Each structure stands twice: as structure tokens, then as C-alpha cells.
Amino acid sequence: MAKKVIVGVSGGVDSAVSIYLLQKQGYEVEGLFMRNWDAYANHDILGNPTLNEEICPQEQDYNDAKKTCEILGIPLHRVDFVKEYWDHVFTYFLEELKKGRTPNPDILCNKYIKFDAFKKEAEKLGADYIATGHYARLKDGHLLRGIDSNKDQSYFLAQLSKEQLENVLFPVGDLTKEEVRKIASDLHLNVAKKKDSTGICFIGERHYQEFIHNYLQPNPGKIIDVETKEVIGTHNGLMNYTIGQRRNVGLAGFEKRHYVCGKNVAKNELYVAFGEDAKYLYSDACILEQVNFIHKPEKKELTAKFRYRGEDYPVIIKTTEHNEIRVEYKEKVKSVTPGQFCVFYDDEECLGSGIIKEVENNGEKLWYLTD
């Protein structure tokens, strides 16, 4: 009897091709569409609805998923995880912004929704395995990078536990995006040419600041020149800026290039540096919190990514006297940002990750964030 696989069908090309590949391998395949965000419930701080589209993008994705499953001849189930998403992902996102940090909610979505709530729902449907369209690979329980280095998504899976990765399949992990597109085109799938979704899932194509202001009131404050300590402008809320940001800082009229280099949450001040010298952005170590290892590293010298699509930097992992994980880099790294994830690799294997809590340079804590 064929093993049953429940595929997380998103309405995109990767999950669509995953269905086809699993069918070819002889599995009994069914689809499950997750509704994680109630777009029609979006309201601003005054209670006014904010969604004006004729059809919600999420509903369009569902319609695309339904059409894909019809073409490939499998049933499609639908489940709401709106409450779970709000409790475990969106609330975390807002709290991190309030702290002045730069969160990555997609990593938490995988941890709490796609490989927890979704997996439990799939088990109710009799699943032997679950599958997603992530560009990643699994070998003997070890999480590996996807073959396509431009699309590798192991970074987003680095908070998963070893147990969460049991009975999981990543059908497109051994393919390039170009190969996936070709398969979809040859099958005449409705999503063969559909654009990949970008940005944070619940914001979609909407303007980031406008969306955030629906939930957090803007709190304008001073922009300070880090060198002269002079007030040079007004920011529209610290949650709208991240370390290293160069565009849309709100300093029109300044010809010299400038970038965000720090925040003071207590004083509600944003610090900006001018010129090409990014000395305020470089660090050589960071302290992590909420550290998760899928497999314990067998050595202390690894590589790490400090943001998705970022470079791999050689690092050494140490444990502090306070039992915290300290990561030291062999070369200075630019814009290592509190709230983002440090993801560890041993060559092709993704070992786990932690949230960046503090950033240091030459033994001193950088004032990226002060309170």
C-alpha cells in the first residue's frame, strides 16, 4: 500500500511541482492549504478596514492551489491557523519591533505553523509524511542546503528540532529553480510562470510602514548625527528602521551618503552616520538567545549566516560564564543586527540557529540598541 504524503500547497510553483514529483515516486498525495492570516480582518488603530483589493492575495493563492490540485488530480484540504499564527508569529513580530529589533517572522512560521500545527493536521488526515516546496534537503535526519545556492532555504528551517524534521520530504531540494519552472511548464501547470512571493508573508505587496502603522502607533523622534551629536532630522518611529539601512531614512537634502547605525529605545532616538566609512556597523562577536541545534556541532569552528542570502562567515562558538552562546567571527562583519537570526553551517549541513541579542566589537557591546 502506498504511503500517504500531505503536501503544503501554497498556490506557487514549488509546491505544485512537489506534488508531481511525489506522484512519480509512487506516493498517495493530498494537498493542504494553510490560511494563516485573516486579511479581511485588517484594521487600523482607529478600527477602519485597511484592505481594499477586490480579492485578497491569500484567496488568490488558494484559488491557484485549487486549480493546481485539479490539474494533478489530487484532493485539496484547507485549514485555518489564523489564531496560531497570531499567537506565535505576529505577536512576536510586534514585540520585537517595540524593542527596536529587526525580527524574521518567516523562521518562526516554520517552527510553529508549517512544521508543528500543519504537521498535526496532516497526521489527522492519515499522513505518513508531510512535504513542502522548500529548497532544502534531508539526509539521515540531517538538514542540508538546497542544490540551488540562489534559492537555498535551509536558513528559514534552522529553528526546527530534529523531531520536527522526522517524516518530512523536500521534493524540490535536489533541483534548481530553472528546472522546477521547466517541469511546471511542460505539465502546463497554471502556476508555471507565477512570480515568487517576496517579503514578509502577511504584508505581501503592501507598503511596509503603512501596514505596521495599523498595529503600532508611529512615535516620531530625533535623528542624531553620531559624530557631531547634533539633531539633524525627525524619524517616524524606530520600528521603521534597521541597522545599516541607507534608503528612506528621512534625511532629504543631505548629499553625503548616510546609514542607520544605532537606536536608543528609551530616548526614542535614531543614530545616523555619514560617508563611506562604515566603522559603526562592523562587529567581531555577538551573543545569541533562543539557540536551537538540530544536531550538536562536533566542532567549534563553523560558518554562519547573519541574514538570508548573506555570506557564510567563519566563526567560533563559545559558551560564556553566564551560559550564553557567544559567536566570534574570524573577520569583521557588517550590520549584524539584533533580532535577526545567526544560522550555523558545517559545509552543506545546517546545524541550527539563534536570535542575535547583543553585538560586540573589540570586547565592547555596540550601541546598536540601547534602552
286 is a catalytic site residue: no
Identify the bridge partners of residue 258 per DSSP, sorted by sequence position. 274
69 is a catalytic site residue: no
Residues 6+ away with beta carbon under 8 Å from 282:
332, 333, 334, 361
Q: Quick one: which of 329, 333, 339 has its CA closest to 369?
A: 339
Q: Where are the alpha helices (DSSP H) in the chain?
A: 13-24, 57-72, 82-85, 91-98, 105-109, 118-124, 177-186, 208-212
Cα angle vertex 340, ends 335, 346, to 5°? 90
Q: Which of 56, 69, 201, 261 is catalytic?
A: 201
Inter-helix orientation angle 13-24/57-72, to 10°: 20
Place of cell 528540532: 161
Task: Kindly write down the DSSP assignment for every residue of 17-66, as one continuous string.
Answer: HHHHHHHHTT-EEEEEEEE---GGG-B-TTS-B----SS-HHHHHHHHHH
* 260 vs 280: CA distance, rounded Å: 9
Q: Which of 69, 109, 261, 350 is catalytic?
A: 109
Q: What amino acid positions are annotated as catalytic residues?
A: 109, 201
